[in-house]
Amino acid sequence: MAATDVDVFSNEEKRNLNLGGHVGFDSLPDQLVSKSVTQGFCFNILCVGETGIGKSTLMNTLFNTMFENEEASHYQNGVYLRPRTYDLKESNVQLKLTIVDTVGFGDQINKEDSYKPIVNYIDTEFENYLQEELKIKRSLFNYHDTRIHICLYFIAPTGHSLKSLDLVTMKKLDSKVNIIPIIAKADTISKSELHKFKIKIMSELVSNGVQIYQFPTDDETVSEINASMNAHLPFAVVGSVEEVKVGNKTVRARQYPWGIVQVENESHCDFVKLREMLIRVNMEDLREQTHARHYELYRRCKLEEMGFKDTDPDSQPFSLQETYEAKRKEFLGDLQRKEEEMRQMFVNKVKETEAELKEKERELHDKFEQLKRMHQEEKRKVEEKRRDLEEEMNAFNRKKVAVETLSLAQPMKKEKDRKKSVKTENQSGVSASSSKVMMAKANVEPLNCQSWWQAIQCCTCLVHNAAWKPAGLF
């Protein structure tokens, strides 16, 4: 059927008809109640507040039971969320209750990012539900919905004004969860101070644009009570699991030396108002608001980020198939572009690596040539030293041979000299006697010489004289 035919049928005037008898579809509400009771319900509460402000005590008081609690330390490095799920049953109605506690909130010196773990947790639960919705084979019927339905924000009873941390955190959360501010430990301030404190809190919330949960007034059955309870926000509550006997009955209260503060006494605190509005009157509205308002906002933003829209630029209905095909083409185009970029990056990287390797190779080659030249130079020097050493060895050997030859010829020369000297002695016998006569004469007749030169001449004359000259000497 064409889209124009559908538009024609949708624009036709609807006609009211009268039934001729009882049909039975008036039992649909009963069927819905029966099915819902069989399936059970889930409700998730987020408690945000400083450590020791009374979050666990109020939860125990609110559901009239004792949940498992661990005392948190004031020395946490950061804020982390601790969810715990309990199965409760009242009459024949089953409730899967999840209480999420913010451990370490407000205990750090730097509280700037204290809200981020809370926001991340809420977004994570929305994302889990969205992923379950987008599955081809969904199981939402038995899916455990962990989306936060209500945030009870605990305000310290200072009696002055809200802290900056409170304003910043509630401002970050108001678009993601239903917020109900409550004043914890309201029995620590007087009624007059409490009234002024409530007015101050609401004034600051309005001036800072923080949107808190307003009880609905569109349903006539609860519009009156909800309108009156909206005027009592924020609720000032007191929590206690201790039972104290007052008169003839036992009530939950806090006993002090000066008196007793009854938890369920509306003149003492707003605990009863909180329980009525939160559990007995508006629990289903909180669930609906979470799904229809906060989750839809998250889902819309998420799908818009993915490129899905309800209408095209011409304000015409947009086909999901066309959107899918367009996004698929866009994705494939981006994938191809990124692949090409990565390929080009790889090629550039390979070229750079090759250039670096060539540069390293050239440096190694230059270094090898330098070492080769140094090796040749060292080899040449070694050869020169070897030649010099061989020449020195040859010269030494020649000298050695000469010395050995000289040492062999010396005894022969001495023998010849000895023989020659013996012969000379035999031939100079006469000369010796003549010398003796001359010397005797010289002793007898002294020389008349005035100087050493005259004496030498006189001696020379004597020697050259024929009488003094031995035969064969001169």
Residues 402-438: pLDDT tens digits? 888 888 877 777 777 777 777 766 665 545 555 554 4
Tell me what pLDDT residue 74 has. Answer: 66
Apex 213 CA angle, 210 and 216, nearest 5: 140
**Which of 129, 178, 170 minimizes the C-alpha distance to 283?**
178
Q: Can you tell me the distance from the alpha carbon of 188 to that of 58, in angstroms, rounded to the nearest whole number?
A: 16
Confirm if 99 and 67 have CB atoms less than 8 A apart: yes
Confirm if 59 and 72 have CB atoms less than 8 A apart: no
Tell me what pLDDT residue 318 has. Answer: 61
DSSP of 217-280, one letter per residue?
-SSTTTHHHHHHHHTTPSEE------EEEETTEEEEEEEETTEEEETT-TTT-SHHHHHIIIII
What 3-state class would DSSP assign to 83?
A: strand
Tell me what pLDDT residue 256 has. Answer: 86
Cα 296 to the chain's mean position, in Å?
A: 34
Q: Tokens at residue 421, please?
A: 């000297």
List, for the chain, all residue ranges whose pLDDT scores fall below the cut of 70. Answer: 1-13, 72-74, 310-320, 424-474
Phi then psi for residue 17, to 5 deg, are -120, 150
pTM equals 0.66
DSSP of 406-424, one letter per residue?
HHHHHHHHHHHHHHHHHHH
Q: Can you tell me the distance from the alpha carbon of 325 to that of 304, in angstroms, rounded to the nearest whole number?
A: 16
Cα 352 to the chain's mean position, in Å?
A: 30
Provide the pairing of β-strand 80-90 with 259-262.
unpaired
Cβ neighbours of residue 127 closer than 8 Å, sequence gap 6 or more = 298, 302
Residues 45-91: pLDDT tens digits? 999 999 889 898 999 999 988 887 777 666 778 888 999 999 999 88
Q: Can you tell me the distance from the alpha carbon of 166 to that of 234, in angstroms, rounded to the nearest whole number?
A: 14
Confirm if 185 and 128 have CB atoms less than 8 A apart: no
**Helix 164-173 and helix 116-134: axis angle, to 10°?**
10
Q: Tokens at residue 351, please?
A: 């070229």
**CA dihedral (312, 314, 315, 319) positive or negative:** negative
Q: Tokens at residue 73, please?
A: 């330390």
Residues 141-167: pLDDT tens digits? 788 889 999 999 999 998 888 999 999
Please give the biggest Cα pair distance in the chain.
Answer: 207
Tell me what pLDDT residue 20 has. Answer: 74
